Amino acid sequence: MKIRPLSNFNTTLEKIAADKSLSHRFAIFSLLSKERSRAKNYLLAEDTLNTLKIIENLGAGVEKSGDEISITPPAEFKEPNCVLDCGNSGTAMRLMLGFLAGLEGKFFTLSGDKYLNERPMGRVCEPLGQIGAQIYGRSGAKLAPLCVLGRGLRHFDFVSEISSAQVKTAMILAGFRADATCYFREKSLSRDHSEKMLLAMDAPLKISEDGLGIEITPLQRPLKALNFTLPNDPSSVFYFVLAALILPNSSICVKNVLLNPTRIEAYKILKKMGAKIDLACEANHFEPVGTIHAQSSELVGVEVDENIAWLIDEAPALAIAFALAKGKSSLKNAKELRVKESDRIRAVVANLQKCGIEARELEDGFEVEGGKPKSAKIQSFGDHRIAMSFMILGLICGMELDDVGCIGTSFPNFCQILESLGAEIDH
């Protein structure tokens, strides 16, 4: 795919892409109820559609009507006669491991695409194994495909060494089927969507004042059903906000955006760089939702080394902002980028260098010297966020990209929205 430079744009968008994290959780958490759950504006991307297929294979009824998804949990979970395909989604695989581990006597196999099957699963399988889960897979159940034989689970008091919402959620789901009250704690706060959504379902959770500790009581009854409208994904919106910032005489207004504090850290970094951005919360069901305004801005270099778990998805796009800012920027304490859909540290640096930008790998991040980028042919490494980030850079200098099919895993209408802004894309 080739994208040509764009002079400017001014637009208001109401529908971009529904939040992926909330979409996965809606589908999986609906299985904890006995009533029908409904969600409008569910993300219809490959990853989230795979999650719907997985719960169908477990016996759930899934109905699509316009932009609404309805899920009816099964009276009893099926033991599927097929592999549960998670596609490219680490969220789906890790959360399902926690959910399936306690379904006693039932056997399941989880797999994904070639990229997902090389991502680390030991961070979930090991703590689950310590409480009685039987999980088998490559490299001692550190890599998928993974087989799960549901067992009765023991209670736990677990402290996570990494800040991961996926690990946290998997352990919460396992704790719901444990033999006594469980305790989970992490060293720094990861995304808290699971806690918020589960509490809205009246789940037996107690959250510590600092948000780092969770008390999980085993389920004695089904949870309340969900019924809500999914907001726009701030990680998806970020690409178009960035485009408005870097193109002259441009502006954007995006409505109905999820503004959870653990999801807007990258916007705060842009503000530190001099970006003219305004975030206005306008509603709060169990998550804050509002409008984002942004306009063309002169950016300056910045050092980023805190709250990395809150901006891990936006890091490749932040690297584009670094490349166009005045002076040097750095991202540190982000070793988790090495084990995402690609090694994002290596991918970002290699592609920026191809574009004539001075960039250097760090063990846990990268340094970038702002400059004038040039058109290049870059590799996506099968990573949707690498592909989308460099397409945004292409609005400045033009860009050719390989393997852009990966964008469909999370944001199938990304190119369509770019074209609506006036971008010329050769497919």
CA atoms within 13 A on the CB side of 80: 19
| Count of beta carbons in the 10 Å neighbourhood of residue 134 | 14
Phi, psi of 357, deg, nearest 5 = -100, 135
User: Starting from the edge strand earliest in sequence, which strands make up the sheet with 68-72, in order?
Assistant: 61-65, 68-72, 37-40, 227-229
| Euclidean distance between CA atoms 274 and 277, whole angstroms | 9
| Euclidean distance between CA atoms 74 and 82, whole angstroms | 18
Catalytic positions, please? 313
| One-letter amino acid of 286 | F
| Euclidean distance between CA atoms 163 and 309, whole angstroms | 6
- Could you check whether the bond before residue 145 is cis, i.e. omega within 30 degrees of 0? yes
Q: Which of 264, 249, 395, 263 is nearest to 321 (CA)?
A: 395
The secondary structure of 372-392 as a DSSP string is -----EE--TT-HHHHHHHHH
| Euclidean distance between CA atoms 81 and 65, whole angstroms | 28
| Euclidean distance between CA atoms 323 and 352, whole angstroms | 8
- Helix, strand, coil in percent for the chain, rounding step 5: 35, 25, 40
Residue 324: its H or E element: helix 315-324
